Amino acid sequence: MIKIRLVIFIALLILFACPTYSLADEPISRPLHNALEKAQSLMAMGEYGKASNLLEEFRKKNDDQHYLLDFIQGAAYLEQAKPSLAKARFAACIRQKPDYLPAWQNLARCWFDLGDMPQAADNYMKAYALSNPKEPDLLYYAAACLASGGDYPAALEAFRRLMAEHKSQARLEWKEALVQTLIQADKQGESLPVLEEIIREATGDRKRRWQEVLLYQYAELGMDKKAVAYVHALLDEYPEEPLWWKTLWRLHLNQGRYKEALAGLVVYSFFQPLTPKEIELAGDLYSASGVPGKAAGFYGQALKNKQDPDVILKIAGAFHRIGKLQEALDWLDKALEQDQKSTILLSRAYILYDMKNYSKAATAFKTAAPQAKKPGQAWLMAGFAAYNANNLGNAKDFLKNAEKYQYSKKTASTLLSHIMQQEDS
């Protein structure tokens, strides 16, 4: 599958400015009126600390309490990024005036800042219930908080309610949050029509990001034909967009269609320089497509960046396949300077054998055998090489070692019998 990282990000546009409240119609004492008015003036100048301190001093010296005293002091604390202190004041405000919408909104904000998403969502829901006319953003914030807290079933219920009750007002960010929640809730199939709707409405980079996500969902859901068809449609519209060429070759690669993947990678390279790993991949794809000469060229490019023993093994294999045995051997000798692992030793031994340098091949197989994945096979080849070098003593020793392994025992015994008959004749 193609891997496009999907990052959940729910935009919470929940900064509620503290408005300047008209105190004229409020039944409050003159001292409290003056204190609140002064606090609001300080807040208008950005002096939130002074405002909260002024109101705290008033609270200590006076028994005169009012819901606006709690609310405005809470707002001052919230502007100072002190959500715990603000929360206490907004809660006190609500106890005095349970239907005061701004207090519920700001209390929800406090819970959000404190990282308690269920409480934040609950308070946004209460604020939404109080709003008249209904404020859809409050329901959106509630849904977003539920999603952010991982309660995807409740979040989806809230998002669906939002879309149903405010269909004509539905904004792009609501749909984006909904589709991400669907994906996180493992409801990728349900996300597809919403994704398609988002793509019809979005523009520029925003649209492209969601096109990537849609492709990823097609791939995740095993809708390979749909994914490939969609990429081709995107390429018809944006033929010089490297991202879609990259997506195309990755889709083919993940489905084992190596020739198609190679074709896409080659076109992609016209628009975007290949990374070292992509250069190596091009070599792998040429090799898998039966073009080892081309593969060797790409492996050579990859090795200019780093002398990786694994890539050296690949270039040696490519040269081996096109009959350039000395070049293959030279590369493997370079690899052995960095790593003595069995795959390199065995590859070198097989090349020496194919070069008919049987004496050196026998020694190479003998060296590789102890750490080989199939030691019996390596000992068997050492025996064959020694036999072809006319070193019958070594051949017998190597073949006796090969007889110790079930998978090589029969062939080793047959050759041993042949050697003994040859010696007796």
Give 114-132 pLDDT, tens digit per residue. 999 999 999 999 999 999 9
pLDDT for the residue numbered 4: 32
In a domain, 46, yes or no: yes
Domain of residue 79, residue span: 12-146
Pair 86, 79: CB distance under 8 Å? no
Overall average pLDDT of the 397-414 stretch: 94
Q: Is residue 17 in some structural domain?
A: yes
Query: Cα angle at 72 between 149 and 112, to 5 degrees?
Result: 5
Q: How many residues does the chain have?
A: 425
Distance CA 207, CA 197 (A): 11
The answer as to whether 189 is a domain residue is no
pLDDT in tens, 247-264: 999 999 999 999 999 999
> Sign of the C-alpha dihedral, residues 338, 344, 349, 350?
negative
Q: pTM for the whole thing? A: 0.73
pLDDT of residue 23: 57
Name the band, by pLDDT with cuts 50, 70 and 90, for residue 26. Answer: low
**Residue 110 in domain:** yes
Please determine, for residue 88, whether its predicted confidence score (pLDDT) is greater than 90.
yes
Helical pair 30-44 and 48-61, crossing angle rounded to 10 deg: 170
The answer to which of 131-135, 373-377, 418-422 has the lowest mean pLDDT is 418-422
CA 142/CA 147 separation, integer angstroms: 9
Q: Return the pLDDT at 425.
A: 66
In a domain, 103, yes or no: yes
Residue 15 pLDDT greater than 50, yes or no: no
Say what the pLDDT of residue 27 is. Answer: 76
Whether 192 has a pLDDT exceeding 80, the answer reads yes
Instruction: Give me the pLDDT at residue 342, please.
Output: 86
* Region 110-117 average pLDDT: 96
- Residue 352: pLDDT band with limits 50, 70, 90: very high
**Quick one: average pLDDT of 282-306?**
95
Structure tokens at 224: 């390979």
* Confidence band for 199, pLDDT divided at 50, 70 and 90: very high
Supply the CATH number for residue 93's domain.
Answer: 1.25.40.10
pLDDT above 50 (res 241): yes
pLDDT at 16: 40
Find tokens 């017998």 and name the residue.
396
Q: Is residue 274 in a domain?
A: no
What was the pLDDT predicted at 24? 52
- Tell me if 98 is assigned to some domain: yes
Mean pLDDT score, 30-38? 93
234-259: average pLDDT: 94
Residue with tokens 């997506």: 247
The residue among 148, 157, 161, 68 whose CA lies nearest residue 113 is 148
Q: Is the pLDDT of residue 210 over 60?
A: yes
Q: Is 108 or 25 the better-scoring residue by pLDDT?
A: 108
pLDDT for 339: 82
Return the half-sphere exposure (C-beta side, CA atoms, 13 A cut-off) of residue 334: 18
Average model confidence (pLDDT) for the chain?
Answer: 91
Please give the pLDDT value at position 25.
60
User: Taking 70 as the threshold, does the pLDDT of residue 19 lie above it?
Assistant: no
Instruction: Select from 219, 261, 230, 232 the least CA-distant residue to 3.
Output: 219
Judged on CB neighbours under 10 Å (0-12, 13-18, 19+), 376 is buried
Residue 3 has pLDDT above 80, yes or no: no
Does a structural domain hold residue 216? no
- Over residues 363-403, the pLDDT tens digits come to 999 999 999 999 999 999 999 999 999 999 999 999 999 99
Q: How many domains does the chain have?
A: 1
Task: Give the three-state DSSP class for 66.
Answer: coil
pLDDT at 11: 38
